[in-house]
Structure 1
Amino acid sequence: MPESPIGSAPGGRLPEALAARLRSAGCVYADDEAQLLADAARTPSDLEELVQQRIGGRPLEHVLGWVEFCGLQICVDAGVFVPRRRTEFLVHCAAEVVAPGSLVVDMCCGCGAVGAALAYSVPGIRLHAADIDPDAARCARRNLTRYDGDVHCGDLYTALPDSMRGRIDVVVANAPYVPTAAIETMPPEARIHEPRVALDGGDDGLDVHRRLAVSASEWLAPGGHLLVEAGSGQATAATEILAAAGLTPEIRRSEEFDATVVVGAGP
Structure 2
Amino acid sequence: MPNKFKYTLANCNKNSIMKTMGCLSEMISDELKASIKADTLALRFMACESYVDVHPKTVDVLPFNETVIDSLEVFGTFFRGNLNVNELEYDYLKGICFTVANKLKSDGVVKVSGSKLLALLCSAMGYKSHQAFKSVAEKSQVQPEFKTYRFDDMGQDFYEFVTLDGLIVDCQPHQASVWCGMRGSLMPLSDQFIINFGKYNKPVEFNTLGYFDQSTTMNYSAEVDDTPIEYQKGFLSFLAGDAAPVRDVVSADFAMGYNVAKWNTNQDPAFLELFKAE
For normalisation by structure 2, the TM-score amounts to 0.21
For normalisation by structure 1, the TM-score amounts to 0.22
Higher strand share: 1
